[in-house]
Chain A
């Protein structure tokens, strides 16, 4: 490609990591950061079966998050299978000289919260992890995507990965989001527009004034949910917000090296006339608080809407899907979303557990009581400590919610934090799939403020009236 041809951010990141490209189009890419967790054990096993070792331990970081208990950390983990998962990660990290943010590390947390928080995630990096929400790290202008166990093994052994260059999609969100509208609402609006598989085969760049206006926490939420539109990675070009967040982070460059880095990072933008394979535009001003009603994240509607009625659907395949989804969710066709009662709430996960998320939920809950039980699991132990310094834990506790330790927790339930079968949960997480929060569990996705509103109301509710006269 001649130098004069305008390039997208995706093009620039790709070419900076390309070691070689085969005739069939597959490229071998250099990996700058490899994050591993308890679930990465298949990758380590595959590596060990070949008698190999980790190629670049200093670029590999372990985080205990998927299976860690959120309660009773001073006790031994009661379930021996779960204990073995945590222990296995510790052993793999120690055997391979990998830095580990383990169960009792004061920096422990969810990998997609810890990476940015520690300054391990930086603009311009290629980042992989055996977790589909690795797209999160694209918020810094990094090329970050989830991989499977065989790819984990390959990266462990070679610090490289074979990939075919994805198509490019630009999602531009201009305008000003109304008060009470969070990055989660913008993300769900995008997913509803492009559909859960609409961005398959693409890398997304999020652009526009409403994206620029987002904090790093908001951008992380947005990029996190790229995979729920089918895109393996999503990114935001780095800017002053990014650099300000990174300055002084433990693993980020310091002093003159930081200034040099910022100079390089500033160039990580799409050139003005760069062409994308697909362009999608949204007006932030038109976005209302959004909740999901069904069993895929694109089953998303503004809170003042009613759930679909299969009888009004002309496409028989779609009608059958609607019937099945409503049946699983236990919702009558055509019901108003605000009439759907919830049994519990969950605030946490790699999507929405950062300090800003906790502040947004606490702003709604302050001085109010939750009508249903609920769990709050901060994104990291450092987020937890900061929230406690700000008194947010007291707000949650006073409202009747449980304040727990950090981990993936009730988003995927494999640590034992489950939504009981048949119960309905208003959740800040990323997937409303059948059984995601536990067999038979019914999940409604929404922003932290909207979860707080559902807690206070006891049913799905518009947060905006609850914010009247309050600082959101």
Chain B
């Protein structure tokens, strides 16, 4: 997994609440293998009308959002379905950080496993950054994960992130490798558990 330490990039304000994973990636694209790249269908049904034409009223289609690596969104981003492909779509589109007042629990967990930073910031602070960007579309935003700050021109705000996720992103840790180092703990637990919870194993029946 790619580390995340610091990023300075263009930011896209998309201040809608409750953009759930069905909006981020409609279910009909869940069949796609990752190798196909899911960035092209990010927010598909919000970005395009039934004829495939861009919807002008969807902020993501504004010039300010072209090439943005940071996304500013409303509360409860990524709620709903556990589809990790929603994170793939965001990441494959080139976005590396989403800033929101709150995130769906499963989405936030999926994000960290893929090197996507989910920064939690109060709605008012996000609105202030969006206001600066509205005045100057070329203005960049800097996200510093070590300092846990987001700065934009003369604004500098702290953001929150679960410390476990922060460490994982800063170090680019891989869960599976980490778990390997606990192999003996797992084996000991399993042996103990089979004694203390014999009922937990499924009884085998004929199919």
A interface residue numbers (CB < 8 A to B): 16, 19-20, 22, 24-26, 28, 30, 32-33, 39, 42, 45, 50, 52, 58-59, 67, 81-82, 84-85, 99, 105, 119-120, 122, 124-125, 130-132, 146-151, 153-154, 157-160, 162, 164, 166, 196-197, 200-201, 227, 230-232, 250-254, 257-258, 260-261, 264-265, 295-296, 317, 321, 412-414, 421, 431, 433-436, 439-440
Contact = CB atoms under 8 A, between A and B. Distances in A.
A251 B202 contact: yes
Contacts of B163: 24-25
B197 A164 contact: no
12 contacts: A59-B201, A132-B81, A148-B87, A164-B162, A200-B103, A200-B104, A230-B104, A254-B203, A257-B199, A257-B203, A431-B80, A434-B22
B138 interface: no
Contacts of A232: 105-106
B175 interface: yes
A160 B176 contact: no
A116 to B, nearest CB: 13
Contacts of A421: 50
Contact of B76 (A119, A120, A197): A197
B125 interface: no
B102 A124 contact: no
A243 to B, nearest CB: 12
B37 to A, nearest CB: 14
A149 B84 contact: yes
A42 B85 contact: yes
B193 to A, nearest CB: 6
B54 interface: no
Interface string B94-124: 0000000011111001100110000000000
Contacts of A257: 198-199, 203
B27 A19 contact: no
B80 A439 contact: no
Contacts of B56: none
B200 A122 contact: yes
A148 B84 contact: yes
Contacts of B167: 24
A471 to B, nearest CB: 35
A317 B27 CA distance: 28
A130 B167 CA distance: 25
A33 B113 CA distance: 22
Contacts of A16: 197
B31 interface: yes
Contacts of A125: 200
Contacts of B202: 33, 58-59, 119-120, 251
Nearest to B17: A321
Interface of B: 17-18, 20, 22-23, 26-28, 30-31, 33-34, 45, 50, 75-76, 79-85, 87, 102-106, 109-110, 113-114, 162-164, 167, 175-176, 178-179, 182, 185-186, 189-190, 193, 197-205, 207
B38 to A, nearest CB: 11
A439 B50 contact: yes
Contacts of B207: 99, 105
Contacts, number: 185
Contact of A20 (B176, B185, B190): B185
Given A24-B164, A147-B82, A412 B27 contact: yes
Contacts of A261: 199
Contacts of A67: 31
Nearest to A81: B31
A154 B31 contact: no
B203 to A, nearest CB: 6
Contact of A250 (B33, B34, B205): B205
A310 to B, nearest CB: 14
Contacts of A32: 200
Contact of B45 (A196, A265, A434): A434
Contacts of A131: 81-82
Contacts of B26: 435, 439
A166 B104 CA distance: 13
A146 B110 CA distance: 11
B200 to A, nearest CB: 5
Given A20-B185, A45-B33, A67-B31, 4 more contacts: A19-B185, A85-B31, A131-B81, A159-B186
A211 to B, nearest CB: 23
B22 A264 contact: no
A414 B199 contact: no
A154 B179 contact: yes
Nearest to A412: B27
A197 B102 contact: yes
A440 B186 contact: no
Given A150-B175, A201-B105, A440-B50, A434 B203 contact: no
Contacts of B104: 197, 200, 230
B35 to A, nearest CB: 9
Contacts of B22: 431, 433-436
Given A147-B106, A435-B26, A439-B45, A260 B82 contact: no
B72 to A, nearest CB: 15
Contact of B110 (A150, A197, A231, A264): A150
Contacts of B186: 19, 28, 30, 158-160
Contacts of A260: 198-199
A30 B189 contact: yes
Given A132-B80, A414-B27, A150 B114 contact: yes
A122 B20 CA distance: 31
A442 to B, nearest CB: 14
A164 B164 contact: yes
Nearest to B18: A296
Contacts of B50: 421, 439-440
A440 B20 CA distance: 16
A32 B199 CA distance: 11
Nearest to B179: A158
Contacts of A59: 201-202
Nearest to A163: B109
